Amino acid sequence: MVSELAGTLTKTKIDVDALRSEFYHPSSAPLAVKFGTSGHRGQLGAGFCALHARAIAQAVARLHKEQNIAGPIMVGGDTRLMSRDTAHLCAEVLAGNGLTVIMPEMPLPTPVFSFEIISGRASASLNGTASHNPPQDMGLKYNPSNGGPADAALTSLIEKYANEYMARPEEIKSISLDEARAQGLVREADVVTPYVEALSRFVDFKRIAASPLKFAVHPLGGSSLAFYKAIKEKYQLNNMDIVSEIQDPTFYFIPIDHDGKIRMDPSSKYPMSPLIKFVEDGTYDFAGASDPDADRFGCATKKGGLIPPNHALCVMADYLYRRHKVRDAYSIGRTLGTTALLDRIAAGLGLKLDEVNVGFKYFVEGIVKRKYVLAGEESAGMSVSGWTPEKDGILAVCLLMEIMAVEGDIADLYNRLTETYGKPYYTRVDVPTNDETKKRIKKLSAADFETLHKVAGERVTRVRDTDGIKIYLQSSWFLVRPSGTENIVKIYAETFVSQEHLERLIEAAKELLLK
């Protein structure tokens, strides 16, 4: 159910002092480190505090020493309340262990950490962010030497080591930031210039600058602001306005999301409502946004309003291939819950299609090996081969501006694709549930559905059990995945039949797996 506050600005001011106090002096015992693909995240206090940051940094220092990983570690964070403090604590611990740290001026986007690693200027990174989560949340993410999200083997080891230090904090080594700088163990670096210059390998900024269209970008209070400013200046984009330069850790200026929380999600119509208004009233032809750590993208256009991420991914994949933007790549990559229209586009272009489990880490090897024309996920993440093996919302927004300038409105281009390949009807539904149901679904395998031959009037062609249960039908599919952090089950569904058939799929998924 949508909150009555959705789309409005908050009237309740977040108590910044109280949250800062919780970070340094939690009112209850800190929870154990749970280090996944996106690192460790939690609400400031017991969920994420100074001890978590220090323990994780010590774990990373131990990992680098044990595995003889040479080279500096890049440390930083986005615009969240305790991102800067988290970065400073990590730098002090890494330096205390004799490791060299690059700590550029903050805030910093997630894809820039990845870019610095693949450019050979850093061996790994620690990034203080909780992405587009509510302002009360904080997190710390590790990217290893390939520049992408850490795999399960690495995150399990970091989690194990970090929890040992949570129990024995006296074993954490650190020196003050001033001392670390004096010893040359912590140094700054310009990371804006090389990243912005390199973007021109994939984005034709001259075509954007020459366009009569009017473009808007909104950092949503996040770390992309300095980078959009540099892009505007370097490429003389006089037709691109940065419509908000506010950076405040309470994010009071972002409209409340569907559930009554402030969430800086560029794919949600509620936080994006000011940008949607810009294109609806004709102020701009295109309005793009990235979330606080700039790994996700969103956009609205004059003809299409808010563009669903699946639609944007399809348009970008088709454009990138036809315009020879990604040389030697031979495949499109998508996650399990992402639109199957990409499969049809790949076939039409003579490309392979790789379907991977949910999580950008499953694209890393393919991006590094220059396999993907585009790798994308329905939650508004994408990258391309030859670029960062990490989601990049800045790249996506700039590429979408180029497409608008060269070929027309994203909505029109998507509609043309559906005329060629068929029109999909897609949705994702979050169903409240309990731990028992989630555990039961996790135990299911494809073998449990051997006698299932027909669903919603269509023949079952395949069942996949690598990440939840995905059932493929003749011209549709649905995926049921238990959430790893909340008591909900996510149902993704898509059909090329009709909206009514989509509703039948959702009901069939609930009947099969939730009752």
My answer on whether 223 and 355 are in the same domain is yes
Token code pair at residue 59: 């774990």
My answer on whether 347 and 409 are in the same domain is yes
My answer on whether 417 and 469 are in the same domain is no
My answer on whether 248 and 382 are in the same domain is yes
Using DSSP's 3-state secondary structure scheme, residue 113 falls into helix
In a domain, 2, yes or no: no
My answer on whether 356 and 479 are in the same domain is no
Q: Are strands 476-482 and 469-473 parallel, antiparallel or unpaired?
A: antiparallel
- Mean pLDDT lowest for which of 26-40, 127-141, 240-254, 337-351? 26-40
Mean of the pLDDT values across residues 248-266? 97
In a domain, 266, yes or no: yes
pLDDT value at 38 more than 90: no
- Is the CB of residue 219 less than 8 Å from the CB of residue 134? no
In a domain, 1, yes or no: no
Token code pair at residue 21: 């106090």
Token code pair at residue 312: 């944007």
My answer on whether 429 and 399 are in the same domain is no
State the DSSP H helix or E strand holding residue 432, giving kind and residue range, or none if neither. strand 425-432
In a domain, 351, yes or no: yes
Mean of the pLDDT values across residues 262-267? 98
The reported pLDDT for the residue numbered 484 is: 75
Task: Name all contacts of 432-438 with Cβ < 8 Å and 24+ positions apart.
Answer: 432/487, 432/488, 433/482, 433/487, 433/488, 433/489, 433/514, 434/487, 435/487, 437/482, 437/489, 437/514, 438/482, 438/483, 438/487, 438/489
Mean of the pLDDT values across residues 296-302? 99
In a domain, 97, yes or no: yes
Q: How big is the chain, counted in residues?
A: 515
Quick one: pLDDT band at residue 487, thresholds 50, 70, 90?
A: confident
In a domain, 7, yes or no: no
My answer on whether 413 and 430 are in the same domain is no
Buried b (16+ CB within 10 A) or exposed e, 361-371: bbbbebbbeeb
The reported pLDDT for the residue numbered 351 is: 97
If one counts the domains in the chain, the total is 3
In a domain, 11, yes or no: no
The reported pLDDT for the residue numbered 461 is: 98
Quick one: pLDDT band at residue 427, thresholds 50, 70, 90?
A: very high
pLDDT value at 14 more than 80: yes
The reported pLDDT for the residue numbered 15 is: 97
φ/ψ region of 260 (left if φ > 0, alpha if ψ in -120 to 50, else beta) reads left
Task: Report the predicted TM-score, pTM, of the whole model to 2 decimal places.
Answer: 0.97
Q: CA-CA distances (angstroms) from residue 433 to 429, 483, 505?
A: 12, 10, 19
User: Which among 189, 207, 237 is the end of a domain?
Assistant: 189
Quick one: pLDDT band at residue 1, thresholds 50, 70, 90?
A: confident
My answer on whether 338 and 204 are in the same domain is yes
CA atoms within 13 A on the CB side of 502: 15
My answer on whether 156 and 240 are in the same domain is no
Q: Which residues are the active-site residues?
A: 131
Quick one: pLDDT band at residue 325, thresholds 50, 70, 90?
A: confident
Quick one: pLDDT band at residue 69, thresholds 50, 70, 90?
A: very high
Quick one: pLDDT band at residue 11, thresholds 50, 70, 90?
A: very high
The reported pLDDT for the residue numbered 482 is: 92
The reported pLDDT for the residue numbered 385 is: 96
Buried b (16+ CB within 10 A) or exposed e, 43-66: bbbebbbbbbbbbbbbbbbbbbee
Q: Residues 184-243: pLDDT tens digits?
A: 999 999 999 999 999 999 999 999 999 999 999 999 999 999 999 999 999 999 999 999
CATH number reported for the structural domain that contains residue 59 in this entry: 3.40.120.10
User: Which among 140, 162, 189 is the end of a domain?
Assistant: 189
Mean of the pLDDT values across residues 356-376? 96
CATH number reported for the structural domain that contains residue 439 in this entry: 3.30.310.50
Instruction: Name the residue range of residue 366's domain.
Output: 194-421
Which residues 6+ apart lie within 8 Å of 378 measured at CB? 309, 310, 313, 335, 337, 338, 339, 428, 492
My answer on whether 367 and 490 are in the same domain is no
> How far, in Å, CA of 182 to CA of 95, rounded?
11
Please list the alpha-helical segments (H only) found in 323-379. 341-349, 364-368
My answer on whether 42 and 176 are in the same domain is yes
The reported pLDDT for the residue numbered 327 is: 83
User: Which among 163, 189, 215 is the end of a domain?
Assistant: 189
In a domain, 6, yes or no: no
My answer on whether 152 and 201 are in the same domain is no
Mean pLDDT of the chain: 97
Token code pair at residue 310: 């699946």
- Mean pLDDT lowest for which of 22-26, 32-36, 302-306? 32-36
The reported pLDDT for the residue numbered 136 is: 98
> How far, in Å, CA of 253 to CA of 220, rounded?
9
